[in-house]
């Protein structure tokens, strides 16, 4: 066993020399032996902690009840979910992951999700992990779906099967960040399609990078529930302030 561990350490060290690992927070090269992020960035990510909204997982402050302002003003199709980080603390990291081909960050994000939200995932008793899909034109131009990368790693760590192609994005939509809540909802009408019978799936976890208003997650959850899924939860890397 010790010989195998020694061989693995040597192989890892050699790979790190040839292909230096970059910190998933600051993107600088991580010295060998420091893990997936550098020592200086250990305290930079700001995690969402209790008290948090019982619906969207947003950080609550003060005596505001169990739901955030957004969730008291509108109903969601999804049941509930969690976000790992406050958006502002990790926005540069998420941007590089999403647009600059830092696909290797997915390993770090998935491990962080398991480390911080393991109990919550266990309580969900999900029988499927489903990444929020991107349109095929965006997939061609970007080369990958960032949500799918995280979902795949999360499946590997949890043992929950991942269904990458169950939901398709059939409508090319305007970027959600440019729209208000009503425009987001209209933008996503008939945007998703499920071509496979999912009646055997009872509880699913959607995975996405950023939660802003929840409109995208609601649109996917609606399609899943139309096809017989009982409960739809979600996990996102970051959550914004909402609208």
Distance from chain centroid for Cα 54: 18
pLDDT tens, residue by residue, 205-226:
999 999 988 999 999 999 999 9
Q: Please give the share of the chain, as a percent, with pLDDT higher than 90.
A: 63
Residues 64-81 have a mean pLDDT of 92
| Greatest alpha-carbon span in the chain | 60
- The total of other beta-carbon atoms located within 10 Å of residue 65's CB is 13
Residues 161-184 have a mean pLDDT of 75
pLDDT for position 5: 39
pLDDT bin (cut points 50, 70, 90) of residue 2 is very low
pLDDT for position 183: 65
Contact 176, 187 (CB under 8 A): yes
- Token pair recorded at residue 15: 């790979």
Name the residue with higher pLDDT: 56 or 10.
56
Distance between CA 53 and CA 71 in Å, rounded?
Answer: 8
Residues 105-124 have a mean pLDDT of 97
Whether residue 156 has pLDDT greater than 70: yes
pLDDT tens, residue by residue, 90-111:
999 999 999 999 999 999 999 9
Instruction: List the domains of the chain with CATH numbers.
Output: 1-42 (no CATH), 45-239 (3.40.50)
Contact 130, 163 (CB under 8 A): yes
Q: Please give the share of the chain, as a percent, with pLDDT higher than 70.
A: 82
Q: Which of 40-44, 80-84, 170-174 has the highest mean pLDDT?
A: 80-84
């Amino acid at each position: 066993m010790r010989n195998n561990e020694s061989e693995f350490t040597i192989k890892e060290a050699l790979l790190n020399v040839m292909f230096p690992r970059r910190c998933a927070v600051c993107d600088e090269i991580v010295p060998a032996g420091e893990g997936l992020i550098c020592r200086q960035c250990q305290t930079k990510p700001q995690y969402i902690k209790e008290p948090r909204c019982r619906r969207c997982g947003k950080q609550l402050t003060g005596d505001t009840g169990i739901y955030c302002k957004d969730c008291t003003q509108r109903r969601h199709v999804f049941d509930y979910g969690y976000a790992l980080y406050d958006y502002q603390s990790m926005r540069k990291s998420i941007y590089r992951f999403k647009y600059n081909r830092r696909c290797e960050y997915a390993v770090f994000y998935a491990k962080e999700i398991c480390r911080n939200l393991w109990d919550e995932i266990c309580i969900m008793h999900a029988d499927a992990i489903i990444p929020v899909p991107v349109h095929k034109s965006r997939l061609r131009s970007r080369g990958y779906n960032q949500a799918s990368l995280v979902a795949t790693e999360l499946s590997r760590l949890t043992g929950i099967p991942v269904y990458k192609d169950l939901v398709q994005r059939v409508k090319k939509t305007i970027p959600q960040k440019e729209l208000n809540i009503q425009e987001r909802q209209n933008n996503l009408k008939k945007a998703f399609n499920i071509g496979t019978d999912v009646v055997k799936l009872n509880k699913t976890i959607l995975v996405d990078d950023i939660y802003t208003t929840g409109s995208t997650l609601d649109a996917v959850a609606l399609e899943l529930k139309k096809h017989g899924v009982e409960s739809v939860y979600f996990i996102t890397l970051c959550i914004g302030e909402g609208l």
